């Protein structure tokens, strides 16, 4: 039986001293909120997840738990958790593209950017390698002004305290400035669930608010009250080739902001599956790189040697025997998500069936639910959804969709995600010992469903 590779998220918990490594030699790593590092799964050699220990600080109990500032999760997404990406910033020369915010609906416009003066400053005192590409020092000088460290705090309740003591769990990631007036692109898992978000620009700390977040793609846009910032210049991730030199920039370990590491594009269109803590899976097509990626790089970025942002660093290998395996979301995908979040408040055009479902894979669970067969069972049908109109009911066991057998929970989302809003799909379910096939029209996933 093949083992599975484990790819870890790059969000870092803050720590005070070396004892927070727990004697393991690993830095703290985990997703925002529970600090438990989710993993990417793929066929091949196995790996392990570095242990993690969050930093906790007791805080007075005001009497009422604070209200979490995060978006509503729909029933159709209950079984999905956050995909961890990492977004980065870049500044390029004349002819690149930079985002600007216009209008009352936060519309993001990608326009030509003239960075000639900044390029000249980067070139000053260095030797040009010739051609369109720069050397590492020049690229670093161009891109680092747009990459910022992000720290978060979330109020949690101690599970080991008799009195339910309230504590603060803090963590760190990175972000990319996408407008000169304070809009920043980062990972949804860095900021989701956070009660307080802080961004450091130079020597100044700014409070940030979430403008939009999408857990499926792990993209979020936050805003700070600042002017005159250096926004990133966006490159063309579709123009990348295997073997091309790239640079990763981020905030490893939550304390080393502005760190740059070099590597190459190891592979393109690498399909990986995000294995979440609840067993659900999200699938991504990513850039693979051997540039060093560490916890805290979430929100950092991958740049070409023209100083342009081409990818969003999102994961690294968790196997102790694996080195130089990191992944990045192509910037063309990330920018499209950001534009949707800014203009609509959510990612438009995603298909929505309207069911919540679970896996029954053992006798104890089957007995608890009162079912006799293993499989994928519907536990909730959203009112007014395509599933409800098709007559699907809680307790139905999903046998197939569009003629494809459903053997695992992520099979359902994989098939649905391959469709468009308005498509009609055929669903066969087992109910009361009989097979029933219905047709359901897919709606659009919005914050209201």
Whether residues 321 and 365 fall in one domain: no
Pair (128, 262) in one structural domain:
yes
Residue 406 CB contacts under 8 Å (≥ 6 apart), including other chains:
375, 376, 398, 399, 400, 412
Asked whether residue 28 carries a pLDDT value surpassing 50, the answer given is: no
Which pLDDT value is given to residue 272? 83
Give the residue from 344, 376, 401 where a domain finishes: 344
Within-domain flag for 39:
no
Give residues with Cβ within 8 angstroms of 185, minimum separation 6: 87, 89, 175, 176, 178, 219, 220, 221, 232, 334, 338
**Residue 138: domain span:** 96-344
Last residue of a domain, one of 290, 325, 344: 344
Whole-number pLDDT of residue 23 = 34
CB distance 259 to 301 below 8 Å: no
335 and 381 co-located in one domain: no
Q: Name 39's bridge partners.
A: 8, 275
Which CATH number is 195's domain given?
A: 2.40.10.120
Co-location of 327 and 359 in the same domain:
no
Does residue 129 sit in the same domain as residue 222?
yes
* Same domain flag for 335 and 355: no
Residue 443 has pLDDT above 50, yes or no: yes
Mean pLDDT for the chain? 75
385 within a domain of the structure (yes/no): yes
Total domains in the chain come to: 2
Task: Answer yes or no: is 400 within a domain.
Answer: yes
How large is the average pLDDT for residues 258-273?
92
pLDDT(30) > 50: no
Whether 124 shows a pLDDT value over 80: the answer reads no
Active site residues: 189, 218, 298
Query: Could you tell me the pTM of the whole model?
Result: 0.71
Claim to verify: residue 339 and residue 357 sit in the same structural domain:
no
Q: Are 143 and 260 members of one domain?
A: yes
* Model confidence pLDDT, tens digit, residues 225-258: 999 998 888 889 999 999 999 999 998 888 888 8
21 occurs within a structural domain:
no
What pLDDT is recorded for position 22?
34
| Same domain, residue pair 276 and 410 | no
384, 253: one domain: no
**Domain assignment of residue 26, yes or no:** no
**Residue 420 maps to which CATH number?**
2.30.42.10
Statement to judge: residues 195 and 219 lie in one domain: yes
Boundary-marking domain end, from 344, 367, 391: 344
- Range with top average pLDDT, 2-11, 66-75, 81-90, 336-345: 336-345
The answer to whether residues 328 and 363 belong to one domain is: no
Q: What pLDDT band is residue 214 in, cutting at 50, 70 and 90?
A: confident
């Amino acid at each position: 039986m093949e083992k599975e590779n484990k790819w870890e998220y790059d969000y870092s918990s803050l720590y005070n001293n070396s004892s927070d490594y727990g004697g393991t030699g690993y830095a703290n790593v985990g997703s925002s909120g529970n600090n438990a590092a989710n993993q990417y799964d793929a066929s091949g050699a196995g790996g392990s997840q570095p242990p993690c220990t969050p930093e906790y600080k007791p805080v007075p109990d005001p009497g009422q738990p604070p209200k979490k500032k995060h978006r509503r999760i729909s029933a159709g997404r209950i079984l999905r958790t956050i995909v961890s990406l990492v977004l980065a910033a870049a500044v390029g020369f004349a002819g690149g593209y930079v985002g600007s915010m216009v209008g009352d609906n936060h519309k993001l416009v990608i326009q030509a950017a003239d960075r000639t003066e900044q390029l000249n400053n980067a070139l000053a005192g260095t030797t040009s390698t010739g051609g369109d590409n720069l050397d590492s020092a020049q690229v670093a000088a161009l891109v680092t002004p747009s990459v910022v460290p992000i720290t978060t705090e979330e109020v949690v309740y101690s599970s080991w305290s008799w009195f339910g003591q309230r504590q603060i769990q803090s963590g760190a990631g990175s972000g990319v400035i996408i407008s000169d007036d304070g809009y920043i692109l980062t990972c949804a898992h860095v900021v989701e669930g956070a009660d307080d978000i802080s961004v450091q620009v130079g020597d100044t700390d700014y409070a940030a608010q979430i403008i939009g977040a999408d857990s499926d793609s792990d993209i979020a846009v936050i805003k700070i009250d600042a002017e005159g910032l250096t926004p990133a210049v966006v490159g063309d991730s579709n123009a990348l080739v295997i073997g091309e030199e790239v640079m990763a920039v981020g905030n490893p370990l939550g304390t080393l902001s502005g760190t740059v590491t070099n590597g190459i594009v190891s592979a393109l269109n690498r399909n990986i599956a995000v294995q979440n803590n609840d067993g659900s899976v999200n699938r991504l097509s990513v850039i693979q790189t051997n540039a060093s990626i560490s916890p805290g790089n979430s929100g950092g970025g991958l740049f070409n040697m023209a100083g342009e942002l081409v990818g969003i660093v999102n994961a690294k290998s968790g196997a102790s025997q694996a080195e130089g395996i990191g992944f990045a979301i192509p910037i063309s995908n990330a920018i499209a998500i950001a534009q949707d979040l800014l203009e609509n408040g959510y990612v438009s055009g995603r298909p929505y069936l309207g069911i919540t479902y679970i896996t029954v894979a053992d006798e104890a669970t089957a007995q608890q639910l009162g079912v006799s067969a293993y499989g994928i069972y519907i536990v909730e049908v959203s009112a007014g959804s395509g599933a409800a109109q098709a007559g699907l009911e809680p307790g139905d066991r999903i046998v197939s969709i569009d003629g494809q057998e459903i053997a695992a929970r992520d099979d359902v989302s994989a098939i649905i995600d391959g469709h468009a809003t308005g498509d009609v799909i055929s669903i066969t379910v087992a109910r009361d010992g009989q097979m029933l096939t219905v047709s359901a029209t897919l709606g659009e996933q919005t914050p209201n469903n």
